[in-house]
Structure 1
Amino acid sequence: MTAPGTDSLRAPAGTARPAAWRTQAPVVAVVAAGGALGATARYALALWWPLQPGGFPWATFWTNVVGCAVIGVFMVIITDVWAAHRLVRPFFGTGVLGGFTTFSTYAVDIQRLVDDGHPRTGLAYLAATLVAALTAVWLASAATRRVLKWRQS
C-alpha cells in the first residue's frame, strides 16, 4: 500500500520512460492492420457462401472452426518453437485471427434463427460451434506439438 499522494507506478527520479502511446502505437497499428485483413477474408467467405434464410450458417461455423484451429497451431509455434518479434502475436493472433473469427456474428445468427422460428437449428448451431471450435483448437495444438516432437526425433 502506498501513502496518500504517492504514485507507486512512477519511474524513479532521473529515469526517462517513453510515453505509453509511443510503446503501444505499433501494437495498435498492427492489430488494426491484421484485423482489417482477417475481417476482409471473413467477409469474402460470407459473400462466397451466403446464408440461406432459416438455414444453418455454414460460412460462420467454418470460419470460427478454422480460425480456432489456426490459433491452436499459431500459439504452439510462437510459444514452443519460434521466438517471434513482439508484434507478430498482436498482428496475427489478435488482428488477423481476431478479425477472421466472428463469435459476435455467431450470437446474432443464433438469435436470428430463434426469432425466425428455427429454434432447433439455432440450438444445433450453438452446440455444434462450441464443440467444434474447442475441439479444433485442442486438436490443432496437440497435432502441432506431435509433429514438432516427431521432427525433432
Structure 2
Amino acid sequence: MLVNPAPPGVRLPAGTRPADLRAARRALRSGELTGLPEADRVARILAAQVLRQRLWLSVLLLCGFGVLNLFNALNRYTSDGAWSGTSVFFLATGLVFVVIVVVAVPSDLRSRRGARAVAEAYDARARSRSSTSPPRVSDW
C-alpha cells in the first residue's frame, strides 16, 4: 500500500490469467483462499511479496518529510510574522504527509494480516495434501 517496490525474485508465473490475478487479490483482501488452485497459488506468491515489504522505511520517510514540512511552515511563519503563501504550503504539505501515515499504516497492517492468513492457509493445505498422498515411486 505504501511506496514499497516489489522485492526482487517474486514473479508471477508466465501465463497467469487476469481472472486468477483478480481472484488472488480478492483472497488477499479477505484473508481466505478461493478454492481455485491456480488463483490460490498466485495468492500465495503475492502474499510472500506483501510479507517481504518493509513498512518501517516508508513510515520513517513519510514522517520525516511531514516533520520537515511542518518545521519549515513554523520557520516561515516566525520569520515573516504572518501566514504567507509558502508557510501555508509547507503546513498543508506537512499535514498531508501526516494524514497519509495515519491512513496508510492501518491499511497496510490489514493487508499484511490478510496475506499472512492466506499464506498460512495455503501452506496448511499443502502440508495436509502431502501427508495424505500415497507414496510415489520416486519417494522409494
Q: What TM-score comes out, normalization by structure 1 length?
A: 0.35
Compare CA radii of gyration and give the structure with the larger one. Answer: 2
Q: What TM-score comes out, normalization by structure 2 length?
A: 0.37
